[in-house]
Amino acid sequence: MSQLSNVEPFKRVSVLGAGAWGTALALNAVRAGRDVVLWGRNHENLQSISGTRQLPAYLPDITFDQPLETTTDVTEAADADCILLVAPAQSTRKIAEDIGFYVKKGTPVILAAKGLEKGTQRMMSEVLSDYLPQAVPAILSGPSFAADVARGLPTAVTIAAGSHPLAERLCATLSNTSFRPYASTDMIGVQLGGALKNVLAIACGIVVGKKLGASAHAALMTRGFAEMQRLALKAGARADTLMGLSGFGDVALSCSNAQSRNFSFGFALGDGKDLSELLAPGAKLSEGAFTARVATELADRFDVEMPIAQAVADVLDRKSSIDEAVTRLMSRPLRRESDHH
C-alpha cells in the first residue's frame, strides 16, 4: 500500500468559488498548512469571510477557526501551485474561460463540481480541457457536506488524477487530521459516481417526501446504485471506484440525509412543492436537476437502461407526474436481479 507521508505537498493553493463548498475547502487547505487565497465575485460575501470569519448566506451559524485571504482578482487567484475550481457544473465552463489565459502550464486544477454539462453531456474534466488545455485536471469527490468540512468534522473523499504521483501529491496537499483524501487514477469513475448519485438522491427524496415507506426507499437506493454502476462501467469506470467513497459512499450520504440539496429538492417535490418554485432563481442549487436528462442521454449513447434516472428526468421535464413515474417503475417486466439490462 502506498504511503503518502513522504510526498511533498503543493504550497500555494487557490480556491475559485466562495460559496459553501469552496469556502469549506479553502478552510480545510489552511488547516493543512497551505498558503491559501479564496477567489469570488461577491464583495459582500468575501468581506464577511475575511472580516468576521463567517459566511451566513451559505454557512449559517458557523464561525471559521482559521482566517482566510480573499480576492476578486482572477490573476492573483490563478497564480498558485494548485487550484481548486469549486463552481456548479453548469458554471465551470465560464470560470475556466475567465482564468484560462492566466493559469501556468502544468498547474493542477482540482474540479469539485458533481455534475455533467447540459447540452454537451461532458464531464467536468472534458469541459476544463476546452479552456485550460495547459492545466492538469484532477477530481475531488466523495461523501462530504460543506458544513461538516467547514466545522472540521471528520470527512473522507477521493482525489483522482491522471497519474498516481499527482493524485498522491494532491492528497498530501489537502490532508489534515479531520480531512482524509484517498488517491485514485479513475477520473471517469469518480466523476460519474458524483454526478449520477445526485439524480438518485432526488429520486430518494421524492420517495421519502411522498411517504412511500422505508422499504421503497431502500429498494430505490439499491436499484438506483445498480443502474449507476451499469452506466459508469460502460463509460470506462472501474468497479472498485464505484464501490468506494465517490460511488457507494456518496450514495449512502446523499440519498438518505436532508442536508443533501438533491435529497431535499426531491423531498420537496414529493411533498407537493411546485417544481417552478424549486427551480426559480435564488433557490438552492440541485446539481441533479440538471444532470438527470444528461444521464438518460448518456444511457442511450451507451445502450444502458436507467429507468430510475429516466423517471426523475421525466418528472423534472414535466413529461410525467410522480404517481405515473412510480407506477411505471413498479410495472416494469420482472427479471433476475443480476441481469445487466
Which is nearest to 194 in space by CA: 248, 241, 247? 247
Pairing state of beta strands 155-161 and 136-141? Answer: antiparallel
pTM: 0.94
Four-residue CA torsion sign, 72, 76, 80, 83: positive
Question: What is the distance between the alpha carbons of residues 38 and 207, in angstroms, rounded to a whole number?
Answer: 38
Q: Decide if 197 is catalytic.
A: yes
User: Band of the pLDDT at 156, cuts 50, 70, 90?
Assistant: very high
Percent of residues, the chain, with pLDDT higher than 70: 98
pLDDT at 151: 97
For residues 233 and 236, give the distance between their C-alpha atoms in angstroms, rounded to a whole number: 5
pLDDT of residue 5: 61
H-helix segments, the chain: 20-31, 43-52, 74-78, 92-99, 124-131, 146-151, 164-174, 187-209, 214-235, 239-242, 250-254, 261-270, 275-278, 287-301, 307-316, 322-330
Task: Supply angle C-alpha 292, 192, 231, rounded to 5.
Answer: 75
Question: What pLDDT score was predicted for residue 331?
Answer: 87
What backbone phi and psi angles, to 5 degrees, belong to 90? Answer: -80, -5
Q: Per-residue pLDDT for 306 more than 50? A: yes
Q: What is the largest CA-CA distance in the chain?
A: 60
Domain 12-185: which CATH number of 3.40.50.720, 3.30.420.130, 3.20.20.70, 3.40.718.10: 3.40.50.720
Range with lowest mean pLDDT among 125-129, 169-173, 262-266, 277-281? 277-281
**Where do the CATH 3.40.50.720 domains begin and end in the chain?**
12-185
Tell me which residue of 308, 297, 303, 312 sits closest to 330, measured CA to CA: 308
Per CATH, the number for 189-330 is 1.10.1040.10
Active-site residue identified among 197, 234, 284, 319: 197
pLDDT in tens, 29-64: 999 999 999 999 999 999 999 999 999 999 999 999
pLDDT of residue 1: 43
**When comparing pLDDT for 280 and 84, which is higher?**
84
